Amino acid sequence: MRTDGHVRNLARNRRFRHLLAVRLTSQAADGMFQASLALSVFFNPALGEAGDPFRYATAVALLLGPYSLLGPYVGTVLDRFSRRNLIGGANLVRAALMIVICLTLPGGFNWTWVLCAMVVLAANRFVLAGLSATHPQVVPERDLVTANSLASTLGALAYGLGLATTGVAKLLDSNISYSMLALAAGCGYLVSAFIVWASFKRDSLGPAEDEAAPGGLWQGIAATTAGMIAGFKHLGRRRGPALVMAVQGLHRFLYGIVFIIAIALFMGFFWDVESDPTHRTTISWLLVLAVLGNVGVLAAAIVTPRATRVWGPKNWVVVLMALCAVVVAALAGTMRPVMFAVAVLLVNIASQGVKITVDTSIQRGVEDAYRGRVFSVNDTIYNVGYLAGLFAAALVVPTDGYAPGTLVGVAVSYGLICVGYAYLARDDAPYDAESWSPAAPHPGPQPRPSTSR
C-alpha cells in the first residue's frame, strides 16, 4: 500500500484523530509556554538585564536538566500505569502550574516559578513518550510507520506554531504581560487533558494488564539503571552504532556552544540600544531563528531517508558534519545576523539528520534484548553533550557574544569529527546500507549490521 493509502486509513481512524488532537494541543501549548518563558528570562526588566552567557547557559540547563535526567526512566512509569491517566494528569498538572507561574513571574526572579517551570518541562517527557507508546493501541500495524511519521511531523508544526504565535503577539503588543502569554499555554494543556479523558477509557491506551511490566516502580528504576550500564557495555560489541552515537554526542556539544554564541550576539553585539530600546528587532530575529530551526528539522525528516538509501548512512553522516564545518566557518568569517539565520536552517538539518541516522542505527544494529537500554544511553549522551556545550561556551564567550575565534575552533572541531568518523567507520557503518539501496539487486541475506557499503 502506498503512503497516501495509509494516510487515508489514518484519517478515517477516529481514535487516531483523537490522539492526534491530544498531541497537537499539547505541543502547541509547549511552544507557547517555552516562547513566553524565553522572552521572560531574556527580556523581562523585572529579572534584570540578560547580558551574561553564563546566565543563558544556567537558564537552559536549569530548565532542561530534569527533562534530560528523567528521559531514561519515563518508560518505567509508562509501562506500569495507565498511559491515558498519565497523559491527562500530566497536562492537568501543567495547566494548574501555569496559574502559579502567572502569579509569581511578574515579581522578578523567584524559585517558585522556576521550580514550576522545571516540572512543566519535565512532564513533557511523559506526555510525548506516552503518546508515542499508545500508537500500537489505536493504529493497525500496517499503518504504524505512517502514523509515527505523521504525528511527529504535525506535532513539530504545532510546536512551531505555538512559538510563532507567542512571538508575534509580543511584537504586536509589547505591553502584553509574560503572565498572560503563559496562561494561554495553560489553556492548551487543559484542552489536551480534557480530550484524552473524554475520548479514551482508562486502559484503552495501555499497558494491558498482561503486558504491564512486573515489579514495583523502584524496582523498575533500579533495573533501568542497571540496564543502561549493560547497554553501554553492549555498544562495545557494536562499533557501527557506537561510533555514530559518539558523533552525535560531540555534535550536540558543539551545537550548545553555537547556541550560546547566537543568543549572546543577538542580545549584545547585534543589538542597537538606541534604535531598538524594547528589543523588538531582537525578538523578531529570535523568532525567525526558531521558525527556521523547525523548518530544518522537517527538511531533515524528508531528505534523510532518501539520502541514506542513495549514499549510505555513514557517508550521509560525513556529509552532514562537513556541512556543519563549512557553515560555522562561514559564520566566523561574516558574523552577520542573516548568516546566522541560514546557519540555523542548515545546522538543524544536519542535527536532525544525524539523529534519524542514530535512531535507525540502534533499531537495525543493536540486538532486540539490548535495544531499549541502548536508546536510554543514547538519550543521556544526547542531552548531557548539549548541556556540557552550553557551559563550555559560557566560559569562553564574551558578554556581547562576539567570538569569531571560538566559532573557528568549532568549525575545525566539526572538520576533525568528519575526518575521524570517516576513517574509524570505514568498516563499521551505522547499519547495513546495501539492503536500503535502490541499487541492491535483491534483498538477499542480511549481512551483519556494522558492515560498510
Grouping H, G, I as helix, E, B as strand and the rest as coil, residue 343 is: helix
Better-scored residue on pLDDT, 10 or 192: 192
pLDDT of residue 94: 95
* CB distance 163 to 31 below 8 Å: yes
What the block records as the C-alpha cell of 177 is 504581560
pLDDT digits (tens, 9 = 90+) for 214-250: 566 677 677 767 766 776 676 777 778 889 899 999 9
What confidence tier does 304 reach under pLDDT thresholds 50, 70, 90?
Answer: confident
Using the predicted structure, report yes or no on whether residue 373 has a pLDDT greater than 70: no
pLDDT digits (tens, 9 = 90+) for 442-453: 444 443 333 333
At the topology level of CATH, where does 227-453 sit?
Growth Hormone; Chain: A; (1.20.1250)
What the block records as the C-alpha cell of 249 is 554526542
What the block records as the C-alpha cell of 365 is 544494529
- Residue 446 is classified by DSSP as P
Grouping H, G, I as helix, E, B as strand and the rest as coil, residue 272 is: coil
pLDDT digits (tens, 9 = 90+) for 129-187: 788 778 888 888 777 767 876 887 788 889 888 988 888 887 777 677 778 888 899 99
At the topology level of CATH, where does 1-214 sit?
Growth Hormone; Chain: A; (1.20.1250)
What confidence tier does 75 reach under pLDDT thresholds 50, 70, 90?
Answer: low
Nearest CA among 100, 105, 113, 120 for reference residue 33? 120
What the block records as the C-alpha cell of 102 is 502567572
- Residue 211 is classified by DSSP as T
pLDDT digits (tens, 9 = 90+) for 237-294: 777 888 989 999 999 999 999 999 998 888 888 877 666 766 677 878 888 888 898 8
pLDDT of residue 379: 78
Q: In the chain, where does the domain assigned CATH 1.20.1250.20 lie?
A: 1-214, 227-453
What does the alpha-carbon distance between residue 23 and residue 21 come to, in Å, rounded to a whole number?
5
Per-residue CA distances from 194 to 13, 26, 199, 273, 367 (Å): 20, 11, 8, 45, 39
Using the predicted structure, report yes or no on whether residue 439 has a pLDDT greater than 50: no
Tell me: cis bond preceding 445? Omega within 30 of 0 counts. no
20 CB-contact burial (10 Å; exposed 0-12 / middle 13-18 / buried 19+): buried
The length of the chain, given as a count of residues: 453
Cβ neighbours of residue 438 closer than 8 Å, sequence gap 6 or more: 309, 310
What the block records as the C-alpha cell of 301 is 525528516
